[in-house]
Structure 1
Amino acid sequence: MLLGQLSSAASPLSAEQVQKLQGLVAELNPIQQAWVSGYLAANANTAVLDSVTPSIQANEAASLTILYGSQTGNAKGVATQLKAQAESRGLTVKLVNMSDYKPNNLKKEKFISVVVSTYGEGEPPEDAENLHEFLYSKKAPKLEGVKVAILGLGDSSYEFFCKTAQDFEQRFTELGAQTVFARADLDVDYEGEANIWLTGALDAFEPELKAQSAGSAQVIPMPGVAAITSQYNKQKPFSAELSIVQKITGRDSTKDVRHVEISLEGSDLTYTAGDSLGVYFLNDETLVDEVLSLLSIDTAIDIKLGDKALNIRQALIENLELTQSYPTFVEKFASATNNSELAKIAEDKTTLREFIESRQIFDIIRQYPAKLEAQYLVDCLRKLQPRLYSIASSQSEVEEEVHLTIGLVEFEAFGSEHLGGCSGYLAKRAEEGTLVKVFIEHNDNFRLPADTNTPILMVGPGTGIAPFRAFLQEREASEAQGENWLFFGNPHFTQDFLYQVELQSYLKSGVLSKLDVAFSRDQAQKIYVQDKLRKNGAEVYAWLEKGAHFYVCGDANRMAKDVHQALLDIIQEFGGKSEEDAQAYLKELRNQNRYQKDVY
């Protein structure tokens, strides 16, 4: 019997257990399914021998609650590190995603650590939205006696750097909580400083936690199976072969979009539809040589990068950020070169952000060349950060491969062609067969429904189609019975219909129940995906009412906001709700994980 056809009547499981089992298996590839099957069989045979009940005394140990809100997985990773380090000290810890945390429990807490990222225009990540809103509401409880430590992760190239962490600290303080360790706002190159902060925060928490735990329960841990984790991660990426890089937009398209296939053969990397792939890239060697020449730096010189000695040219190609500009580079470079004009620009935040918006680091060095020692240049730069791409394949379909849909970033500025760091590398410089360093970034906030009978609506214009290609492959592989409706948009039908043949095949086979396309430049009046949503408003609302999950992937600044507003309009018009009730309706969809976004 296929799992999708399993019912509680035909098994010893309850309806809820069947749904949970279907949801788990939908996230596993065939190898993982086989392992779990064997493990469960062995576990059932030894259940009687392992039926030792842990003894717990009446008093519970004082616990440190770690709350994390993560958009791309970095905050979750740091929070997990904090948990591991706390447990290594013998402390009791609860690690909770903010989306799973009941805000009313705040009044029961005594020790809290918050690890949270910021995205967009100073907004909390989606899984932190409810707790953030609750803290700023009249329902927020007094928190006298609560001890807190807060860590923020962000990107200083954005204006509202680590604002969410600052918001949390402000509200905790206003509600009476005591900060036991100073908040840190960490940039993209956060790993070293994060470790220092974790140690300091635990040093602050530990004495009182242990004092309150004295004489309390000691839990006898049950024997179990350690979680299987890959040996490869962001700090230790896998060297994977770049198999295929194929342009999938037409010759006359205004966009250059590439379908990329990467082999994971020889690794133990697994992923679920909705996850992202982190890709490390190499900077353009020609531009690196130009930088060295403009700064009169000898290419043979060695420099220090952390605790390693590297050749300066190698470091600039492999290890340091030279495309994406950010404020601290301008400030440090102005100081290192004693450039008064650049220093003046750096003094005014508004002027500085306007300056870096149109410039890559290459451009700044071209505009302000100077003789500079190699180590000074290195000290101005931050480490190269991997780029994250939504995975465009299901491992159930492609097995030891991973597919991406990458839009090449290219533009003319200051008299020369400019390319994005990673997209330029993959599309223009890396040849098929090249080894690229990659890792999987799991995204628990962008998942198919556990019940494969649930209908889904997907809105993915442009390269936002990527995760929905993975969703469709997964729904087909799992023989899901739920309906699938895709909204796709791009400028022109003839040039920009990404994965057209595949989508039409899914329509023909019935995997894709409905496909609505918006080619904005094919008629006098521009039509976008939000317009298609409104045109189908009655049916969209009907799908939501029958339990559909709604997904959005793509541009955060305009498209996602326009789609959100279209949804509000649809709910008001076809649900007969006020604007306030429509907002509440969407909020409840988010709370139920039925409205999920993967936006950038």
Structure 2
Amino acid sequence: MVLQVENSPFTEQQVKLLNELLPNLTDNQKIWLNGYLSAPQAVAAQATAVLEGLQQVSKPKTITATILYASQTGNSQKLAECFGAELAQNQVDVNVASMSDFKPKDLKKLDNLFIIASTHGEGEAPDNAIGFYDFLHSKRAPKLDQLNYAVLALGDSSYEFFCKTGADFDQRLSELGATAIAPRVDCDVDYEDDAAAWLTTVQQALLKQSGQTEVATQTVTAPAPTSTYNKKNPFQAEILEKINLNMDGSNKETYHIELSLEGSGLTFEPGDSLGIIPQNDPALAAQLVEVLGFDATAQVTVQDTTVTVLEALTNTLEITVVSKPLVQKLAAFTKTDITPILEGDFHAYSYGRDLIDFVTEYGPFDWTPQQFVEQLRAIPHRLYSIASSYTANPDEVHLTIGKVAYEANGRARTGVTSGQVAERLEIGDTVSIFTKENPNFKLPQDADTPIIMIGAGTGVAPFRSFVEERAETGAEGKSWLFFGDQCFVYDFLYQVEWLNYLQDGTLTKMDVAFSRDQAQKIYVQHRLLEHAQEVYEWLQQGAVIYVCGDEKAMAKDVHEALLQIIEQQGNISREEAVETLVQYQQQKRYQRDVY
């Protein structure tokens, strides 16, 4: 073989030398030379392979996770979105979704599932979780041996079925073979710290899967708020107006309250809520101190502040609710046997009772004022549907608050917030407030969409904001209000306003049901059924249904009426009607703000 200069990397002189050498080499010499010349390339290739292997080993394994939220008023949703963003910063491929948007059959495809679930009403799953909850508890639910999971449960310990929805999810996932990588955490009303600790535990568990050694230190925060005021730093809003909407002779007291937001930076949208942080009745707090045998001026430390025990029980701590967790803690300070009420029908015992009742019945107690206050939780805030449009009334917020008043165990009782508003607050006074977004109760984005609003008593409040907003913005969509209360003469809340809206066309239709104006009681669900054909026509036109009010009675009966209308007017089976209403919920065409 003769090497040519053309198409070679060698010079003419090099080619001449190679042609002189190569013909004179033996086969062994040629083999040795070939190995010698190729060795650097082999070593380089081997080093590259080793380096790539090392890089592969050191590179964290990609972890996937799904966060599903069951949320009625938005707390679980916001937590899920915040936690999802934080996991993403720690190299987790995360998907955050409402349970209503998740296909349950996809559970078999997941490696890690994290559930953040609120409990609604008396232990029920929130509206957006009903379909997923039912599937998971049905025979169709698959074995989930491949799944790792963790559950964060939100609730209110004053309710009998505290955090039940989250507990149900936890139990069912375990039954289906899934593995809990972190213990379930049950959060009370002030959930932020417990929720953050749960997330840290979950992240640490994921580190073991990903190969990371530490969690990223950056903290995910929500978008910068327009106001510095929130639940932990409430705004002191001045009362501009206070009107009893019921006429003389009514069995009720329902107050229209107008508050100033001037200088607060607080804003809201129709459907949102206003949180009020109330104070206890000073007379009730003083009575409790007397029953306990404490000196009202005794000093205690609450929330890192030193105050008198009377001040603590008036301004800071809850004294009107007897919950099972509280009774379990207080049992340590008395020799009286409390087992019967804890193991019996606790709901029946606690209904209508407050701390005065309990300490009177189960004393004497051996404790100091400081030990006593350490057992109590802070007064929970109360949420009220906003009854005004910010667009129409900038720097103001309106509420519709019904006074809760009843007698139990020989004593007159009033609601903590409603009693304060009705009896102790007047125009010019201030109240501690913050705004609370409700992403699950919103006007349709298309202002031409028809809306059907169904509310009884104070449940009409958000619909005042809806109609006021549509009037202010000139929305063209049809609107139909169903309103119910006890008596036409005494209890027609905002009657003049509704008539004006009907006259100018902002409100297309209004049907009312006053239950006590005739021998046979008539409620809003009866009016719905009376207009079944037209209601169904509106639904066929894409109308969105809104329900606000009492969940146990009104909302339940309205739900049944809607099922009947869809079944009968649509000429479909009951099962198909149920599925249709579920689809409406998933499409946000059936929204409820119930309590």
TM-score bracket relative to the smaller structure: 0.7 to 0.9
For 1:557 and 1:349, locate their aligned partners in 2 and report how far apart those are by CA, in whole Å.
23
Question: Are residues 1:287 and 2:284 paired?
Answer: yes
Give, as a single letter, the amino acid of the residue that structure 1 aligns with 2:172: R
Q: Which residue of 2 aligns with 1:299?
A: 296
Moved more, 187-196 or 126-135: 187-196
278-287 or 311-320, which deviates more: 311-320
Residues 192-245 of structure 1: CA distance to partner in whole angstroms, max 9, x if unpaired? 43333232222222332355999xxxxxxxxxx955453222222222212222
1:124-159 C-alpha deviation (Å, 9 max, x unpaired) = 111222222232345544433322110111223333
Alpha carbons 1:269, 1:440 under 8 Å: kept = yes
Total equivalences in the alignment: 531
Matches of 1:375 and 1:510, distance apart in 2: 61
Residue 227 to residue 375, structure 1, CA distance change in 2 (3 Å):
closer
Cα distance, 1:454 vs structure 2: 0.8
8 Å CA contact 1:283–1:317 kept in 2: the answer is yes
The TM-score with structure 1 as length reference comes to 0.83
Contact 2:401 2:458 in 1 (8 A): yes
Identify the residue that residue 116 of structure 2 maps to in structure 1: 115
SS in structure 2 at match of 1:417: strand
| Offset at residue 88 of structure 1 (A) | 6.0
Q: Give distance in 2, aligned partners of 1:121 and 1:416.
A: 26
Pairing 1:123-162 to 2, within 5 Å after superposition:
123-137=124-138, 139-162=140-163
**1: distance between equivalents of 2:157 and 2:274?**
23
- The answer to whether 1:233 aligns with 2:234 is no
Secondary structure at 1:397 match in 2: coil
TM-aligned CA deviation for residue 336 of structure 1: 1.6
Shift of 1:101: 3.1
Q: Is the 8 Å Cα contact of residues 62 and 210 (structure 1) preserved in structure 2?
A: no
Residue type at the aligned position of 2:295: D
Equivalent residues of 2:61, 2:211 under 8 A apart: no
Counterpart CA distance in 1 for 2:436 and 2:397 is 13
Distance across 2 between alignment mates of 1:472 and 1:204: 49
1:597 aligns with 2:592: yes
Q: Partner residue of 1:354?
A: 348
Match of residue 340 from structure 2: 345
Of 182-191 and 88-97, deviating more is: 88-97
Segment of structure 1 superposing worse, 363-372 or 443-452? 363-372
Q: Which region of structure 1 is more displaced relative to structure 2, 447-456 or 112-121?
A: 112-121
CA distance in structure 1 between the partners assigned to 2:259 and 2:103 by the alignment: 40
- 1:345 Cα deviation (Å)? 3.5
Q: 1:65 corresponds to which letter in structure 2? A: T
Deviation larger for 516-525 or 67-76: 67-76
CA distance in 2, matches of 1:503, 1:180: 54
Note the C-alpha offset of 1:427.
1.4
Amino acid at match of 1:353: H
Which of 514, 535, 541 pairs up with 1:540?
Answer: 535
Change (3 A) 1:175 1:60: same
Match of 1:375 in 2: 370
Q: What aligned pairs does 1:374-393 form with structure 2 within 5 A after superposition?
A: 374-393=369-388
Q: SS in structure 1 opposite 2:153? A: strand
Partner of 1:94: 95
- Residues 416-466 of structure 1 deviation map (CA, whole Å, 9 limit, x = unaligned): 321101111111112222222111111111111111111111110100000
Q: Does 1:257 align with 2:254?
A: yes
State the partner residue of 1:17. none
* TM-score, length of structure 2 as denominator length: 0.84
1:158–1:275 Cα change, 3 Å: same
Contact 1:75 1:116 in 2 (8 A): yes
Q: Distance in 2 between matches of 1:362 and 1:419?
A: 14
Q: 1:228–1:287: structure 2 CA closer, same or farther, 3 Å change rule?
A: closer
Aligned equivalent of 2:456, options 451, 461, 466? 461
Over residues 554-583 of structure 1, what are the superposed CA-to-partner deviations in whole Å (9 max), with x where a residue is unaligned? 000011111111111112221111111111
Report the CA distance between 1:315 and its aligned residue.
1.6
CA distance in 2, matches of 1:365, 1:431: 33
Aligned to 2:241: 244
Asked if the contact 1:256/1:408 (under 8 Å) is kept, the reply is yes
Greater shift in the superposed pair: 266-275 or 160-169: 160-169
**Cross-structure match for 2:481:** 486
Structure 1 pair 589–316 and aligned structure 2 pair: CA distance change class (3 A): same
Change (3 A) 1:334 1:167: closer
> Which runs of no fewer than 5 residues in structure 2 stay unpaired?
1-59, 216-221
Q: Residue 246 of structure 2 aligns to a residue in which SS?
A: coil
Using the TM superposition, name which of 229-238 and 149-158 deviates more: 229-238
Amino acid at match of 1:72: T
> Which deviates more, 539-548 or 179-188?
179-188
Give the direction of change, closer, same or farther, for the CA distance of 1:268–1:109 in structure 2 (3 Å limit). farther
Equivalent in 419, 424, 437 of residue 424 of structure 1: 419
Q: Which moved more, 1:448-457 or 1:76-85?
A: 76-85
SS of the aligned residue for 1:182 comes to: coil
Alignment pair present for 1:276 and 2:299:
no
The unaligned stretches of length 5 or more in structure 1 are 1-58, 215-224
Are residue 446 (structure 1) and residue 447 (structure 2) matched?
Answer: no
TM superposition shift of 1:254: 0.7
